[in-house]
Amino acid sequence: MVHRGSGFRFFFYLIGFSAIFLAFIYTSVFSYQQYANLRAELTTANSNNDVQLRAAMAMRAAVRERAILLWQMTLLETPEERKKLFNTFYSQGSEYHKSRLTLLNTELDPPEQNIIAKLDKQTANRFPELRTFTELLTNNRFQDFRLELSKVLKDKTTIAGLLDQFITLQQAQNEEVWQDSSHKMDEVLSELITRMVLIILGGFMFALYVMVTTSKQNKLIRIANQELHHLACHDNLTGLPNRRFLLHQLEIVLAAAKRKQHKAAIIFIDVDDFKPINDTYGHDIGDQCLQNISNRISEVIRGSDMLGRLGGDEFLLILSEIDSSTQAIAVIQKLLEIINKELIVDGQITHISASIGLYIYALEDINAEEAITLADKAMYQAKKMGKNQFYII
């Protein structure tokens, strides 16, 4: 079940982070596409408007130049003198029509088409009058052309006015395109920022969830490991260190005593006649007796000393760094006193005593197992002495 839960969490985290990553990629690509489309639209619109504006300005310049040329020709005396200017006049006309065709090949909106239609109509209506005036200049010598020139220039002014309207419209459209593009860019940027903030916020919340969940899982694992370690090193009934843990700790105590030149005491405690208690009152009462004994012993030992259960009715007490055997004997006498009492468990009265063996470690070259064996031998000597006794080896 643990493996299944871990696998599910892994795939859940993977899917979550993948979704956040894909959302980030999608938002980035989508925003870039919007930006690219806006830029392409702006480029196309600007290119079209620039072509229209240049063509309209070229037409406007051609109209102006033709008007100036007509005025200059009226100041010359003979048709021969005017002939040179006529070549330029017709060249400007060609430039006008060339720019007009360029303008017609662009994308024109309805207002622009309306101005072009008016411009063509005005040009067509005033062409006969212009033609008559140019023939007059071609065939006549110096005379007063002011009346005819005034009419023709008035026509040119009308056409120039329409071209000015077109140019003004183009400039306004360029400004509108820039403003519209700027507004759309702001919208794209605002949308991008909003989405990124949401993605970052979502990613932060998911990462926080992962951290909290992982922290909880690690805490549960740590607690479980501690419990497993405790179960592996402690007795289930009394909660005292078990034989395995006692051996490990005793090795440490012996090594420290040898290094610091101190003595240590290994006290082996065996409950007298414990089997009849189990047989008479049952194992539940026997277990409660063992628990009661372990609690009594724990109350009279130092915090630096270690009490453990070897198994059955056998306990081991390790006194580290003692000055002499007298100190250990004083502890044993207290143990005999607190153990040798009547015990009432679930209304049942029984008498408990113990035989105790003592081994004083005085820097001998032995290990933990050997030290316990010596204390065990001392305990058996105490039992031979009549129980409720202690013996030092």
At position 16, the amino acid (one-letter code) is: G
Token readout for 289 is 């007796």
Q: Are the C-beta atoms of residues 359 and 322 closer than 8 Å to each other?
A: no
Pairing outcome for strands 263-271 and 314-322: antiparallel
Backbone dihedral angles phi then psi of residue 154, each to the nearest 5 degrees: -65, -40
Cα–Cα–Cα angle for 164, 169, 173, nearest 5°? 150
At position 379, the amino acid (one-letter code) is: M
284 is catalytic: no
Out of 235, 270, 272, 313, pick the active-site residue: 313
Helix 110-139 × helix 79-104 angle, to 10°? 170
Token readout for 208 is 């926080």
Number of alpha carbons in the 13 Å side-chain half-sphere of residue 217: 12
Helix 2-74 × helix 146-233 angle, to 10°? 170
| Residues labelled as active-site residues | 313
